[in-house]
């Protein structure tokens, strides 16, 4: 387990050395090529994300050890502290180890009003009630309360890996966590079968696809009138 309460723990642990694999390096080159010459530092977030995903492939934990941040800094010609600043600012970057499944539970007001307490409790139970931000003894789960995930219509929301699980309650959350623990990939989205973000029970408007309307450009604007000669001249 990692002690999240200790600021010094932020960059401790993890491998002493890190380098992109051949596959990650090719993806990194594509990211860097998106930016003009001299602006390669703009690719820092993309490369940090790639580094986290490589860590997940290699260790089962999607996080950024200091060696990975240093590697990204070296590739982009940035001072390492500039990379640490980015990694510590954006909450999607984890600078401490997380569980194989990092459970990010939204507890902002809409999710809270819709029952995020039960979702959070189920996640904490699955993690063996270790303190939030630390990893369960079996390495499966870590839990973090997060702010609005931008899916309030389908509150409450749980974010795991690359997926949102929505419209949850305690039991639905437990079913998802048990499936994750078994190594399954439970379907993301609404636990109530809601169609995307439509009202519960199905859409109430725009229920039919409107007939195709061919595009009709606006008629051209009339030419400005030529100046008239004064009849008295
Ligand atoms: S408040 Fe939870 S997704 Fe917006």
The three-point CA angle 25-60-116 to 5° equals 115
Residue 217, classified by CB atoms within 10 Å of its CB into exposed (0-12), middle (13-18) or buried (19+), is exposed
Mean pLDDT of the chain: 91
What pLDDT does 179 receive?
98
Q: Sign (positive/negative) of CA torsion 8, 14, 16, 21?
A: negative
Residue 101 falls in which region: left (phi positive, over 0), alpha (psi -120 to 50) or beta: beta
Taking the CA atoms of residue 37, residue 24, residue 158 and residue 191 in that order, the dihedral angle to the nearest 10 degrees is 110
CA–centroid distance, residue 195 to ligand 1 (Å): 18
| Residues 65-121: tens digit of each pLDDT | 999 999 999 999 999 999 999 999 999 999 999 999 999 999 999 999 999 999 999
Ligand 1 neighbourhood includes 106 CB (under 6 angstroms): yes
- 28 backbone dihedrals φ, ψ, rounded to 5°: -65, -40
User: What are the extents of the domains in the chain?
Assistant: 7-89, 101-190
Of 14-28, 122-136, 204-218, the range with the lowest mean pLDDT is 204-218
Query: Which atom of ligand 1 is closest in space to residue 116's alpha carbon?
Result: 2
CB 16 within 8 A of CB 26: no
Residue 27, classified by CB atoms within 10 Å of its CB into exposed (0-12), middle (13-18) or buried (19+), is middle
Ligand 1 neighbourhood includes 152 CB (under 6 angstroms): yes
Query: Which atom of ligand 1 is closest in space to residue 107's alpha carbon?
Result: 2
**Does 150 or 211 have the greater pLDDT score?**
150
Residue 104's DSSP bridge partners are 144, 159
pLDDT at 11 over 60: no
**Does 209 or 18 have the greater pLDDT score?**
18
Give the mutation target among 115, 119, 145, 152 for probing the ligand 1 site: most ligand atoms within 8 A of CB.
152
CB 158 within 8 A of CB 122: no
Domain covering 7-89: architecture: Orthogonal Bundle (1.10)
Supply the pTM of this predicted model.
Answer: 0.82
| Distant-in-sequence contacts of 90-94, Cβ < 8 A, 24+ apart | 90/45, 91/146, 92/49, 93/48, 93/49, 93/52, 93/64, 94/52, 94/62, 94/63, 94/64
Query: Which atom of ligand 1 is closest in space to residue 109's alpha carbon?
Result: 1
What pLDDT does 210 receive?
79
Buried b (16+ CB within 10 A) or exposed e, 112-123: eebbbebbbebb
Query: How distant is the alpha carbon of residue 101 from its chain centre?
Result: 14
CATH class of 101-190: alpha beta
Give the mutation target among 107, 111, 119 for probing the ligand 1 site: most ligand atoms within 8 A of CB.
111
Ligand 1 neighbourhood includes 168 CB (under 6 angstroms): no
Ligand 1 neighbourhood includes 155 CB (under 6 angstroms): yes
């Amino acid at each position: 387990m990692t002690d999240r309460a200790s600021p010094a723990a932020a960059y401790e642990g993890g491998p002493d050395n890190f380098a992109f694999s051949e596959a990650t390096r090719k993806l990194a080159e594509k990211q860097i090529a998106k930016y003009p010459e001299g602006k390669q530092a703009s690719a820092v977030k993309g490369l940090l994300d790639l580094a986290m995903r490589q860590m997940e492939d290699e260790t089962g934990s999607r996080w950024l050890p200091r060696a990975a941040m240093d590697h990204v800094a070296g590739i982009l010609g940035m001072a390492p502290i500039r990379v640490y600043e980015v990694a510590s600012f954006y909450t999607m970057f984890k600078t401490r180890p997380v569980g194989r499944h990092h459970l990010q539970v939204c507890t902002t007001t809409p999710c809270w009003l819709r029952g995020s307490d039960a979702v959070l409790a189920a996640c904490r139970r699955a993690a063996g009630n270790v303190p939030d931000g630390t990893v369960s003894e079996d390495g499966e789960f870590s839990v973090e309360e997060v702010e609005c995930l931008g899916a309030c219509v389908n509150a409450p929301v749980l974010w795991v890996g690359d997926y949102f699980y929505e419209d949850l309650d305690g039991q639905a959350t437990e079913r998802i966590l048990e499936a994750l623990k078994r190594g399954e990939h439970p379907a993301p989205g609404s636990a109530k079968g809601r169609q995307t973000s439509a009202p519960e029970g199905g859409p109430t408007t725009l229920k039919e696809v409107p007939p195709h309307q061919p595009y009709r450009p606006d008629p051209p604007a009339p030419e400005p009138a030529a100046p008239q000669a004064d009849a008295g001249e």
